[in-house]
Structure 1
Amino acid sequence: MIWSVYTENRLGLQFDPRTKIIMLILCVISATIAPSLLYESVLIFAVTVFGCASGKVRRSLFCAAFYGAFYMLTKFVISLEKGTLYTVFTSWLGLFYTVYPCAFLASIILSTTKVSEFLTATSKAHIPNKVVIPLAVMLRYIPTVCEDWGYIKDAMRLRDVTPSLFGFLKNPAMAVECLYVPLLMTASNTADELSAAALTRGIENPTPRTCLIEVRFRGRDWIATVLAVCVLVLGFIWERIV
């Protein structure tokens, strides 16, 4: 009964948090060594498949479509071979293609991983609390700040302050005062509150943790890990086979 109530709103396959951490590390390495834009597209495709399998179909397809549009723009700019647009664009092109796959995968992990599952998995992996506690706070920090950002935008719309680039250009002082200052204050308070909440819930308790969900490696976890390793190996041998 508890299991059904806990999982009834969870869509897609549930992967072990340790699998997600391993995949994120492999994704960072793959994005760093990416030998070409075509390989980068393969990496994005792999992340998209993982996101769809995890139940985040809309987000995954949107991020993949955004990457596709940016990929076409990149091809167009590279075809220019010279000019101001080419110089400005290529200066940060490498940074985007290195960060985007990692950010894409991280967003899926953050939205599909519960803190209790993460803590149970890291406890089984015997990871020190000095590493676990900051990561556990981070899992709740980013979604909480995004939620607060939505509340701030709604409040500012009532005061006729548009939370957009146009509104910032129209009245930058008002935008900073009414949007970004409250966001910074909220972000600072949220970090303290989440840390206190984690300690209150016994995050430093030395006894073994329990969880409603059985956290263990399943067949899907091994398959996902092997495929991630294959994508990484493909990056090392890409120039030999293409």
Structure 2
Amino acid sequence: MTQKNSRTVLDPRSKLAVFVAACFSTFSGMTYIQEIALLLFCGITMLICKKWRWALNVSITFAVMFLCDLFVVGRLSGPPQYAALLLCHVLRFLLPLFGAFYIVTKTSTVGQYISAFMAMHLPNVVIIPIAVMFRFVPTLTEEWQVITQAMRLRGMALSIKNVLRRPLYMLENMLVPFLLQSSAIVDEMSAAVMARGFDKDHPRSSFLEVKMKALDWIFVAVSVIVLVWNLLW
């Protein structure tokens, strides 16, 4: 028995194509036109995935950084210029990558990715690490929010004042519970993988049905075009 993928418009594989294109393009040394084109492509993907707020926030942040890089950084000097250059030039390159990563982690479930990978006839040694990665990163984000909230309730909020006054104390209270909880999450995920039979070499069925549509193939084709354009030009 299967259930159609009705949560998102795009297939998980087309989102992964966008993410791969953003990963390699980000570190290829893009021109201004290539930056804008990549961000526009990621923004359209967010809109298709019904993430309008994220698309708007990323676009506004990129526009502010882009304008500051053109008109503000050149007028500064010394440490302020280095800080502005890091914020407005270097971090701007990572915005499309962050947007694409948000798409692949927040708009599709792990079950949909597993179903898509099984449809591609990938071996379990490939499916399991990728599926765990997509589930592990959002879980760590949730745990980090819980830890920061608990610190805030104890009067140890993560602020510049507390970090400057008690840096080692703050670092200890953040990292120790975070690392311990990360270890527990890894053990739980390993047990879940074993319980679901991923360690067995036999075909598995999936409750979720994914299918590449015309729109998905368009996004895959555009991802390939953007990737080749950024790598070769």
After superposition, the Cα gap between the structure-2 partners of 1:95 and 1:189, relative to the gap in structure 1 and judged at 3 Å, is farther
Counterpart contact for 2:147–2:178, Cα < 8 Å? yes
- C-alpha displacement of 1:55: 1.9
Instruction: Give the corresponding residue for 1:104.
Output: 99
- Percent sequence identity is 28
Instruction: Give the corresponding residue for 1:22.
Output: 17
Q: Name which of structure 1's ranges 129-138 and 57-66 shifts more when overlaid on structure 2.
A: 57-66
Instruction: Give the corresponding residue for 2:33.
Output: 38
In the alignment, structure 2 segments of 5+ residues that lack a partner are none
Give a deviation string over 1:94-129, Cα, whole Å, max 9, x none: 653443322220111101121111112112212232
Give a deviation string over 1:173-215, Cα, whole Å, max 9, x none: 3322322221122122212221221221122333333333321
Instruction: Give the corresponding residue for 1:204.
Output: 199
Instruction: Give the corresponding residue for 2:180.
Output: 185
In the alignment, the residues of structure 2 paired with residue 68 and residue 170 of structure 1 have an alpha-carbon distance, to the nearest angstrom, of 35
- C-alpha displacement of 1:155: 1.4
Q: Name which of structure 1's ranges 199-208 and 83-92 shifts more when overlaid on structure 2.
A: 83-92
After superposition, the Cα gap between the structure-2 partners of 1:233 and 1:138, relative to the gap in structure 1 and judged at 3 Å, is closer
| Secondary structure class of the residue paired with 2:202 | coil
The 5 A counterparts of 1:41-190 are 41-80=36-75, 83-87=78-82, 89-90=84-85, 95-190=90-185
- Equivalent residue for 2:209, pick from 210, 214, 218: 214
After superposition, the Cα gap between the structure-2 partners of 1:95 and 1:185, relative to the gap in structure 1 and judged at 3 Å, is farther
In the alignment, the residues of structure 1 paired with residue 217 and residue 17 of structure 2 have an alpha-carbon distance, to the nearest angstrom, of 11
TM-score normalized by the length of structure 2: 0.85
Number of aligned residues: 232
CA RMSD of aligned residues (A): 2.7
Give a deviation string over 1:55-95, Cα, whole Å, max 9, x none: 22222222222222222222234423754433455468765
TM-score normalized by the length of structure 1: 0.82
In the alignment, the residues of structure 1 paired with residue 45 and residue 186 of structure 2 have an alpha-carbon distance, to the nearest angstrom, of 30
Counterpart contact for 1:43–1:231, Cα < 8 Å? yes
